[in-house]
Structure 1
Amino acid sequence: MPNNKNATEFAGVSRRTVLKAAGAGAAFAAIAGSPARLLAAEPLKVAAVYTVPVEQQWVSRIHKAANAAKDRGDIEYVYSENTSNNDYERVMREYAEAGHKLILGEVFGVEDAARAVAKDYPDVAFLMGSSFKPDEAIPNFSPFDNYIQDASYLSGIIAGAMSKSNHIGMVGGYPIPEVNRLMNAFIAGVKESAPDTKFQIAFIGSWFDPPKAKETAFAQIDGGADLLYAERFGVSDAAKERKVLAVGNVIDTQSEYPETVVASALWHFEPTLDKAIAEVKAGTFKAADYGVYSFMKNGGCSLAPLGTFEGKVPAEVMAKVAEKEKAIKDGSFTVEIDDSEPKA
């Protein structure tokens, strides 16, 4: 997602906003005659503000975790998608005014405005995707990010072994830390298997433009790449059409591309969200860096099952993957977090 130095306006093409009556829970509590006890047992009111559709990879993981918590009865959950940066602050305030006690989102393009909203609503917890660190002056605002470099590294080990030409194409949204660290970890993994691999690296300047990502991937295939790193939607479609391999990012698309997606690095937002829900309910939510809950050792990321590629990746490669995964989890090996822009 973009940071405030690379702010990108998202047009509100189709925005679904679902708001529930703010006073319903309070009215019921008053009728029951024991507000404190009832409110303690009620689901936490959670709202999310997204700048892209909930189908987009990154946001889909937050949406999935929130729905899981809703299905468990832990939270009530409403959201707005395709919210433009110009409209973001207003929507945040609407949810805060409506009585939601935890607000989720991604504020990379509206960082200052989002933190200003948090200051105005000190009794509301804000858990926001951000490139920046927590600020003790805003104790109710905690940033998170998808630190899934561990899984990206493991997917790179597989990719390096599966590329026959030692020439890999990589298509990302923007060259910012959130993307760079995953690409760099993937590259490091590739070099574990094939140190002489060449990389084509391109950024499309958008978080959700599958046609542009697809065309960029076609150009990389024409340039000699026989395996693609699909940081954006559209890349795996190009791989499927040209019959080259692809490695996925954040979500598992193996079932959709059974002949081409050989591996994927998955992001699991559940540990991040569940920690925040527990802290809010306990009254202990504070400014903290929630990025650590995306680490593999905390259950925040994993390598997807190989699916149709089970048995097609050399056994010695999967043995190395298993060895590295164990070392990551027990802390004896650490995947470097490199936020610098990767170079071809």
Structure 2
Amino acid sequence: MTRRAVLCGAAAVAFAAAAGGSLPVLAQSKLKVAGIYTVPIEQQWVSRIHVALKAAADRGDIEYVWAESVANTDYERVMRQYAEAGQQLVFGEVFGVERAARAVAKDYPKTAFVMGSSFKPQEPNFSVFDNYIQEPAYLSGMVAGGMTKSNVIGMVGGYPIPEVNRLMNAFMEGAKEVNPQVKFSVSFIGSWFDPPKAKEAAFAMIDRGADVMYAERFGVSDAAKERKVLAIGNVIDTQPQYPDTVVASALWHMEPSVERAIAAVKAGSYKAEDYGPYSMMAHKGSSLAPLGTFESKVPDAVKAKVTEREQQIRDGKFTVKVNDAEPKSTM
């Protein structure tokens, strides 16, 4: 895999960024922001961060540079390089490099870090976030439960970690609400970005009777399209690429978290906190994608149930359970 990195900043700025003391007020300057990603920016999860930061750059709010496909063994070096170059706010995901990333943050207390992590924030400058999109995942499961004819849904994930498990479990619960007879075939490919492997896993499930696939990874919808079964998307809306295959998707919107961090750094009020809740529907951090090409294909009774449940979630009258346990097949 290759890595593209664009680094900027002068030595004087780097010295100021590394010096001790509180973060300065930056309301009159364009914030320097960097992204560090262990996978290509096209990958679903990372693309949400990249898109939100790119939008902020396009508005003129920030100067944005990034490095993609950074190996875990190289992550600490890239973090330090950006901090030394004067980047004032750094986004990324550190699930495989927690200890090293947190050590870097301690060494650069004037740099604000907002990192995808399974653990808690670290004072004074290491915030964490996660894709808490279990609510639209539940709703997309309701759609899937109403669309399967074989009562078998296949689910292909990357790794069985909390960030993946909670979405898959919510999806399964949503499907069972609409269709108590549904069964699940669950598999993990041991990679965040291996479309061919995900595709082969999906083929195996379709061969065993699955007629709806939960596409937690890229490659699954390709298999569904080839075998003429349906798919449910995750994190991004891929229906434009698969108009006859992808019925619905649980969408993640990183904009609320990104905008909150930018505003805090500019105001000089940035502190270590958990940005996870800003991925929930109440903060417009997630949503169920429009049915689009499937608007007339999903049964009206199913759509009515989904609409009712979605409103209950938004009104705080229904809570989607957060279940981080590894989902299991029920075949």
Matched, 1:19 2:29: no
Instruction: Specify the code of the residue in structure 2 equivalent to 1:122.
Output: P
Is this contact kept in 1: 2:158–2:189, CA < 8 A?
yes
Q: Per-residue displacement from partner, 1:8-67 (whole Å, max 9, x unpaired)?
A: xxxxx21101112336989xxxxxxxxx99x53221100011000000000000000000
Is this contact kept in 1: 2:253–2:279, CA < 8 A?
yes
CA drift of 1:312 comes to 1.0
* 1:78-117 to 2 correspondences below 5 Å: 78-117=65-104
2:212 corresponds to which residue? 227
**Secondary structure of the structure 1 residue equivalent to 2:132:** coil
Q: Could you tell me how far apart the structure 2 residues matched to 1:43 and 1:18 are?
A: 17
* 1:54-73 to 2 correspondences below 5 Å: 54-73=41-60
* 1:293-304 to 2 correspondences below 5 Å: 293-304=278-289
CA drift of 1:211 comes to 0.1
2:226 corresponds to which residue? 241
Q: Could you tell me how far apart the structure 1 residues matched to 2:143 and 2:181 are?
A: 15
1:143 corresponds to which residue? 128
1:8 corresponds to which residue? none
2:301 corresponds to which residue? 316
Instruction: Specify the code of the residue in structure 2 equivalent to 1:99.
Output: G
CA drift of 1:192 comes to 1.0
Is this contact kept in 1: 2:9–2:87, CA < 8 A?
no
Could you tell me which of 240, 247, 251 is aligned with 1:255?
240
TM-aligned CA distance change 1:225 to 1:155, over 3 Å: same
**Secondary structure of the structure 1 residue equivalent to 2:91:** strand
2:290 corresponds to which residue? 305
**Secondary structure of the structure 2 residue equivalent to 1:240:** helix
Is this contact kept in 1: 2:112–2:126, CA < 8 A?
yes
1:290 corresponds to which residue? 275
TM-score by length of 2: 0.94
Is this contact kept in 1: 2:8–2:86, CA < 8 A?
no
Q: Could you tell me how far apart the structure 1 residues matched to 2:211 and 2:244 are?
A: 14
Q: Could you tell me how far apart the structure 1 residues matched to 2:173 and 2:127 are?
A: 30
Kindly indicate whether structure 1 or structure 2 has the higher relative contact order, using CA contacts under 8 Å at least 6 residues apart. Answer: 2
% of aligned pairs identical? 71
Q: Could you tell me how far apart the structure 1 residues matched to 2:203 and 2:175 are?
A: 21
1:52 corresponds to which residue? 39
CA drift of 1:322 comes to 1.2
Q: Could you tell me how far apart the structure 2 residues matched to 1:141 and 1:271 are?
A: 18
Could you tell me which of 139, 143, 146 is aligned with 1:154?
139
2:153 corresponds to which residue? 168
1:211 corresponds to which residue? 196
Instruction: Specify the code of the residue in structure 2 equivalent to 1:21.
Output: G
Q: Could you tell me how far apart the structure 1 residues matched to 2:27 and 2:149 are?
A: 58
Q: Could you tell me how far apart the structure 1 residues matched to 2:73 and 2:201 are?
A: 29
TM-aligned CA distance change 1:23 to 1:158, over 3 Å: same
1:3 corresponds to which residue? none
Is this contact kept in 1: 2:230–2:245, CA < 8 A?
yes
Q: Per-residue displacement from partner, 1:264-321 (whole Å, max 9, x unpaired)?
A: 0000000011111111111111111100000011101001111110111111211111
**Equivalent residue pairs, number:** 320
Q: Could you tell me how far apart the structure 2 residues matched to 1:336 and 1:279 are?
A: 31
Q: Could you tell me how far apart the structure 2 residues matched to 1:201 and 1:174 are?
A: 11
Instruction: Specify the code of the residue in structure 1 equivalent to 2:143.
Output: I
2:19 corresponds to which residue? none
Is this contact kept in 2: 1:255–1:307, CA < 8 A?
no
Instruction: Specify the code of the residue in structure 2 equivalent to 1:221.
Output: I
* 1:175-186 to 2 correspondences below 5 Å: 175-186=160-171
Q: Per-residue displacement from partner, 1:116-139 (whole Å, max 9, x unpaired)?
A: 00000011100000011113xx21
**Secondary structure of the structure 1 residue equivalent to 2:317:** coil
1:327 corresponds to which residue? 312
Is this contact kept in 2: 1:173–1:203, CA < 8 A?
yes
Structure 2 runs not aligned, ≥5 long? 15-23
Q: CA RMSD in A?
A: 1.4
Q: Per-residue displacement from partner, 1:91-111 (whole Å, max 9, x unpaired)?
A: 000000111110100000000
Is this contact kept in 2: 1:204–1:212, CA < 8 A?
yes
Is this contact kept in 1: 2:13–2:85, CA < 8 A?
no
**Secondary structure of the structure 2 residue equivalent to 1:40:** coil
TM-score by length of 1: 0.91
**Secondary structure of the structure 1 residue equivalent to 2:27:** helix
